[in-house]
Amino acid sequence: MNTLKMAKSQAIIGLLQQGWAHRRIARELGVNRETVSHYAKIQKAATSNPAISTTGSETTPEPNPAISTTGSRGLSRGSGRRSSCEPFDAVIQAKCTLGLSAQRIFQDLVADHGFPGSYSSVRRYVRRIEETRPLPFRRMEVEPGAEAQVDFGTGRWLREGDHRRKVHVLRVVLSHSRKAYSEAVRHQTAEEFIRLLENAFRAFGGCPKTLVPDNLKAAVLKADWYDPELNPKILAFCRHYSIVLLPTRPYTPRHKGKIERGIDYVQENALKGKEFSSLEDLNRYLKDWERTVADTRIHGTTRAHVGQVFELVERPVLQPLTADPFPLYEEGRRKVHRDGHVEVKRSYYSVPPEYLGREVWVRWDSRLVRVFNDRHEQIALHPRVRIGAFQTDRTHIPAEKISSVERGVPDMLRRAARIGENAKQWSQACLSVRGIEGIRVLQGFLSLTRSHTAAAIDRAARTALEVQLFRLRPLREILARIVLPNTPELTVSHPIIRPLSEYQQIVDDNHLEHPVLKEE
């Protein structure tokens, strides 16, 4: 058979060591499966006898084999016997990831694993690992006050009586100073998430410009790196504090490495081996631990005192807090009742009449009730009222359903003035003489406009005003005589006829003696 080039033969051997199938290797490298099988036999022989070379097509013994320069993940980079470091590949890989030097790795291998080799072999092995390692991730540092990273982690069990409950710990880390806030909750709801964020801002004395959370369900309804769908409550919270929410790419924890390590720090340093009897005890402990331990440490990356950097550098540039906390609200759909109101927590609030019988979206908190249509446009705003009470906006009542009494006496007098000057003066005098009873009389007087002209009513009012007549029934009779032209006019004065004022006095006296008598 023809001899393959050194690069291709080494590629075949390397892929065989990784466990690739013969068919796959032949397809990827463009060689025959028989060739792959041939090198598989050579590799097997070399494994059982290190004196056999795998560099060519023939199995040639090598009298003075060199030490293998096996690199990362056991990939052979040359001929020779296997390195004494290969059995410890996983350990060395892990320590290289932590950034330990070859000298430190050699010391740990000898002390912890009884490593029989030399320091030189470890140094060569580590060098090969570093040469084949992928490019490092870029560490992104931010300006003070610019960013905070947020995530939930698993807390400790709470022993409440005979029950054990597991809780969640939210941790908020300011990316510049690494100052953090931790608090435990039972549920990861949007309401709890908002409350904890607000507690963190109060503890910091300000808020950052950007929040970087994971794609947790409390904040992100649908994860998308380019255009995520966020919870409306979280968006309202961010607008309240002028914060931008930027969720990380799904399944990419390195985008929030500071909080990932921060969660581990809480779990390993603060909570491991601890047990608490209540959520309040746990949160008191976390608050004290943040102040006495986390804030006083020298951070492993920044090499700076966390508490001092926060107080001197980051706290002064945080955004100021709003005067009022975020109004945490509830919301839901409601159907508008026949009376034009919706029910919220057993109280009732009006909506515009055009939404009668339709469904609307209602959002409420401890102070206000807001009503929105299907386009999320606000159509009503009310203060919260006690249970069983009705809160009605007068603009929501159709004009046809507002009575004269509801509109008030000034409105009734304005309507009387539109009839005529006599009607205006008679109405004012009627209210002055009759008091509260005169309101009902005035309402009846205005109802005459449905069947009589304004001129006729104003003329009748002039006649009634001349004789100081402030009852509706005689005024109707006067109006009837004015309307019917063949009916003799009512004589105002005559030598043998008593003045109408005397008849008025008789009627008033009779009404006082018999209060059960009512005017028709």
Helix or strand holding residue 495 (H, E): none
Please tell me the predicted confidence (pLDDT) of residue 479: 86
Helix or strand holding residue 244 (H, E): strand 244-245
Residues β-bridged to residue 210: 147, 244
Residue for token digits 């109004």? Answer: 327
Please tell me the predicted confidence (pLDDT) of residue 59: 43
The whole-angstrom separation of Cα 300 and Cα 262 is 12
Please tell me the predicted confidence (pLDDT) of residue 362: 93
10 Å CB burial of residue 311 (0-12, 13-18, 19+) is middle
76: CB partners within 8 A, 6+ apart: 10, 13, 14, 17, 68, 70
Tell me which residue of 7, 72, 9 sits closest to 46, measured CA to CA: 9
Please tell me the predicted confidence (pLDDT) of residue 350: 93
Please tell me the predicted confidence (pLDDT) of residue 165: 81
Query: Which residues of the chain fall below pLDDT 50?
Result: 1, 51-78, 487, 489-490, 516-520
List b or e across 204-241, with b for residues whose CB sees 16 or more CB atoms inside 10 angstroms: bebbbbbbbbbbbebbbeebeeeebebbebbeebbebb
Residue for token digits 């109060």? Answer: 202
Report CA 241 to chain centroid distance, whole Å: 12
260: CB partners within 8 A, 6+ apart: 151, 253, 254
List b or e across 41-80, with b for residues whose CB sees 16 or more CB atoms inside 10 angstroms: ebbeebeeeeebbbeeeeeeeeeeeeebbbbbeeebeebb
10 Å CB burial of residue 12 (0-12, 13-18, 19+) is buried
Domain limits, CATH 3.30.420.10, in the chain: 147-317
24: CB partners within 8 A, 6+ apart: none
The arrangement of secondary structure in 330-401, i.e. its CATH architecture, is Beta Barrel (2.40)
- CATH superfamily of the domain spanning 147-317: Ribonuclease H-like superfamily/Ribonuclease H (3.30.420.10)
The whole-angstrom separation of Cα 264 and Cα 273 is 14
73: CB partners within 8 A, 6+ apart: 18, 89, 93, 132
Cβ contact 468:501 at 8 Å: yes
Cβ contact 126:86 at 8 Å: no
SS3 category, 515:
coil
269: CB partners within 8 A, 6+ apart: 293
CA distances from 444 to 121, 426, 449 (A): 113, 13, 10
Please tell me the predicted confidence (pLDDT) of residue 313: 92
Report CA 304 to chain centroid distance, whole Å: 34
Domain limits, CATH 2.40.50, in the chain: 330-401
